[in-house]
Amino acid sequence: MVDGVFSMDGDRADLKGLAALAEQYDAWLMVDDAHGFGVLGERGAGLCEAEELDTGQVPILMATLGKAVGVSGAFVAGSHALVETLIQRARSYIFTTAAPPALSAAVIKSLELIESEAWRRDKLQTLIAYLREQAQAKGIELMPSDTPIQPLVVGDNERARRISEALFEKGLLVPAIRPPTVPEGTARLRITLSAAHETGDIDRLLEALAPLLDATEDESPAT
């Protein structure tokens, strides 16, 4: 089981390598593509589509509906036998009220938009490239990532929290992610782009960020 796009680093799993391993050991590969679904692949079907993997190589694909799909919930896609087994046996399903039809209608519409309006994905890629380029020009070193999750490791927990709060006061939502969500000493600002952003938003972020990073540079490490 593996994330497609890792939620706190923004990098991608080596799905091809994992699929080959799974085949070698006659195992099933399950991918949680919460952060790839809707964002990667020609049609937005996620990392499996981008890596050209089929249902034989990835027999269990799940993704959430609360990110690119824009509502809430999640899905598991797989063989009829797998889905039927989950419906009959998954403890979290039994005695739980089904998702309402309105949610299904919203999901169907979202899927139509994801599939037919590739411009959002194209725009995201343009924004990602712009952010990375502009950050580099300002000497701000982002983690290696080509997805909308663009973390900036600041190391110290308190420093991350303070910068995040200062950004929030300027109307910029950049959460500070700290251990145990990420390893000790790698507290970070989790910059996340969406297709609703514009390059001007990125300029605003970097203009606000650069002096905050400088001002907090010499802080002592977190306790």
List residues with catalytic annotation.
7, 35, 67
Interface size with ligand PLP, residues (CB under 6 A): 8
Among 57, 64, 150, 186, binds ligand PLP (CB under 6 A): 64
9 binds ligand PLP (CB under 6 A): no
Q: How far is the CB of 21 from ligand PLP (least distance, A)?
A: 20
74 binds ligand PLP (CB under 6 A): yes
Among 7, 57, 157, 164, binds ligand PLP (CB under 6 A): 7
Query: What residues contact residue 140 under an 8 Å CB cut-off, 6+ apart?
Result: 152, 206, 209, 210, 213
Among 15, 29, 32, 41, binds ligand PLP (CB under 6 A): 32
Number of H helices, E strands in the chain: 7, 7
Query: What residues contact residue 207 under an 8 Å CB cut-off, 6+ apart?
Result: none
Q: Tell me whether residue 34 or residue 182 sits nearer to ligand PLP (CB atom).
A: 34
Q: Tell me whether residue 103 or residue 166 sits nearer to ligand PLP (CB atom).
A: 103
Structure tokens, 83:
């889905």
Among 1, 28, 42, 66, binds ligand PLP (CB under 6 A): 66
Q: How far is the CB of 63 from ligand PLP (least distance, A)?
A: 8
* Distance, CA of 220 to CA of 210 (rounded, Å): 19
Q: Which stretch binds ligand PLP (CB under 6 A): 29-37, 119-127, 186-194, 195-203?
A: 29-37
Q: How far is the CB of 75 from ligand PLP (least distance, A)?
A: 11
* Distance, CA of 102 to CA of 115 (rounded, Å): 20
- Say if CB 152 and CB 191 are below 8 A apart: yes
For residue 106, count CB atoms less than 10 angstroms from its CB and return exposed for 0-12, middle for 13-18, buried for 19 or more. Answer: middle
- What's the distance, Cα to Cα, between the start and end of the chain in Å? 34
Q: Which residues bind ligand PLP (CB under 6 A)?
A: 3, 7, 32, 34-35, 64, 66, 74
